[in-house]
């Protein structure tokens, strides 16, 4: 027997398995060492398709730094600290620098989370701003995209001379990848703009997911392209996107032009974080990768989406997701009042909401697979979502056939199972 510790919240759950029955699915590249401050500074000096950071900012400039919220691991504490020091070295005074959290429609960042995301040094010295997608007074209208989406973004984006984006590159089940343009849209967009761009993931004429929309896809992805159009109206001065390891430490960095550097990072991420499979299997045991990837169910769904791509139709998925923040939205369960995913899709056609689309995506999987959810959620809530509740991995495994073959995904959201090589960006 072989044992593995699967991340669960801020802890782990032990899984003892027969290596002849289970295959682990991990990244293609060997483990990388965390980047040093010097290596990150070198990326600032020699960015992708952009002048050096030192040539972009001058005394008298005001700078707004965009930072992801607590649902993302981006190594922001290290990145922002080094970025701020570099800006100050170039003559930008601390009073002209502010940090805004790109929460999109997520909850606000707590004071404790701000310290964790930025370090006490930064939070004590720089002004931090909060975004509210539902507050009309917090956003301003810039126009509409060529596709007709209204462009409403946080006012602060127009109140500073320059905008710097920070974030992390990872997979997203309909935007293709995280990072880059997502810091602006949905990160700092109004609820109206977020809905207009995200509903492009669904094809209401043919039904189901729109062609070209999916994990690891950028070219021809309507959601990505629309968010890109919104960000182009802002024209960020510089961007810094990291790739983080299982402990949230930066092991890769793509700094430079907000669009081009991100595209390079996405292409390399797909190469290093995908795995070729010969066939699906009847059982997939998947961990989100622990906190913050399983902070709530809406975030944990991203790992479930990956697991579904490796599971045989009608098979079993065991999802480890603590969900210490609950579902991720107070009204998430209302979508499961629908009789099935088809009825829910009809409901979304007439009253679209972003979280409703996540519910639809989850429900389509619950209809195709038997899903055990190992979490801290109330069992009745899990059943409403058509999943089977469990308090431990052992409890879930005891309800699965003992001779079935399966896959193990220790970092479910970070590894894309592929059956045919494809270009993702």
Let me know: does 230 contact 197? Beta carbons within 8 Å. yes
Q: How far apart are CA 193 and CA 233, in angstroms?
A: 13
What pLDDT score was predicted for residue 91? 97
What pLDDT score was predicted for residue 4? 94
Q: Name the superfamily (CATH) of residues 2-27+276-418.
A: LarA, C-terminal domain (3.90.226.30)
What pLDDT score was predicted for residue 419? 86
Q: Is the dihedral of CA 383, 353, 239, 123 positive or negative?
A: negative
The pTM assigned to this predicted structure is 0.92
The separation between the first and the last C-alpha atoms of the chain, rounded to the nearest angstrom, is 40
What pLDDT score was predicted for residue 26? 84
3-state secondary structure of 106: coil
Please tell me the total number of residues recorded for the chain in this structure.
425
Q: How far apart are CA 367 and CA 377, in angstroms?
A: 20
Which segments in the chain show pLDDT lower than 50? 421-425
What pLDDT score was predicted for residue 424? 43
Q: For domain 37-271, give the fold.
A: Rossmann fold (3.40.50)
3-state secondary structure of 17: strand
Q: Please list the residue range(s) of the chain that carry CATH number 3.40.50.11440.
A: 37-271
Q: Please list the residue range(s) of the chain that carry CATH number 3.90.226.30.
A: 2-27+276-418
What pLDDT score was predicted for residue 291? 94
Let me know: does 105 contact 186? Beta carbons within 8 Å. yes
Q: How far apart are CA 136 and CA 369, in angstroms?
A: 41
What pLDDT score was predicted for residue 118? 97
């Amino acid at each position: 027997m072989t044992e593995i510790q699967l991340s669960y919240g801020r802890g782990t759950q032990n899984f003892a398995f027969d290596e002849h029955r289970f295959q682990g699915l991990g990244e293609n590249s060997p483990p990388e060492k965390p980047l040093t401050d010097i290596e990150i500074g070198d990326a600032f000096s020699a960015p992708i398709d952009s002048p050096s950071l030192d040539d972009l900012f001058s005394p008298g400039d005001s700078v707004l730094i965009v930072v992801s919220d607590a649902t993302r691991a981006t190594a922001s504490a290290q990145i922002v600290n080094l970025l701020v020091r570099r800006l100050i070295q170039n003559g930008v005074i601390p009073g002209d620098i502010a940090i805004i959290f790109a929460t999109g429609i997520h909850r606000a960042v707590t004071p404790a989370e701000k310290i964790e995301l930025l370090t006490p040094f930064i939070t004590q010295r720089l002004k931090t701003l909060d975004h509210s997608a539902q507050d009309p007074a917090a956003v301003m209208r810039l126009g509409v995209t060529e596709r007709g989406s209204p462009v409403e973004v946080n006012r602060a984006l127009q109140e500073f001379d320059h905008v710097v984006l920070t974030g992390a590159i990872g997979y997203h089940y309909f935007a293709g990848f995280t990072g880059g343009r997502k810091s602006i849209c949905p990160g700092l967009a109004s609820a109206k703009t977020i809905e207009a761009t995200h509903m492009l993931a669904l094809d209401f004429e043919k039904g189901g997911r729109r062609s070209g929309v999916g994990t690891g896809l950028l070219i021809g992805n309507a959601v990505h392209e629309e968010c890109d159009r919104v960000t182009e109206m802002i024209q960020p001065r510089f961007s810094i996107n990291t790739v983080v390891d299982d402990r949230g430490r930066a092991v890769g960095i793509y700094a430079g032009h907000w669009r081009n550097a991100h595209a390079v990072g996405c292409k390399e991420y797909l190469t290093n974080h995908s795995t070729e499979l010969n066939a699906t299997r009847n059982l997939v045991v998947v961990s989100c990768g622990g906190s913050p990837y399983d902070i709530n169910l809406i975030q944990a769904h991203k790992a479930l989406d990956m697991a579904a791509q490796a599971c045989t139709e009608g098979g079993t998925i065991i999802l480890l997701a603590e969900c210490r923040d609950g579902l991720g939205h107070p009204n998430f369960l209302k979508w499961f009042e629908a009789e099935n995913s088809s009825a829910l899709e009809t409901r979304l056609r007439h009253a679209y909401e972003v979280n409703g689309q996540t519910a639809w995506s989850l429900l389509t999987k619950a209809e195709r697979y038997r899903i055990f959810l190992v979490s801290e959620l109330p069992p009745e809530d899990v059943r409403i979502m058509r999943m089977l509740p469990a308090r431990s991995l052992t409890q879930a495994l005891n309800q699965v056939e003992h001779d079935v073959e399966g896959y193990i995904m220790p970092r479910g959201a970070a590894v894309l199972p592929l059956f045919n090589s494809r270009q993702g960006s």
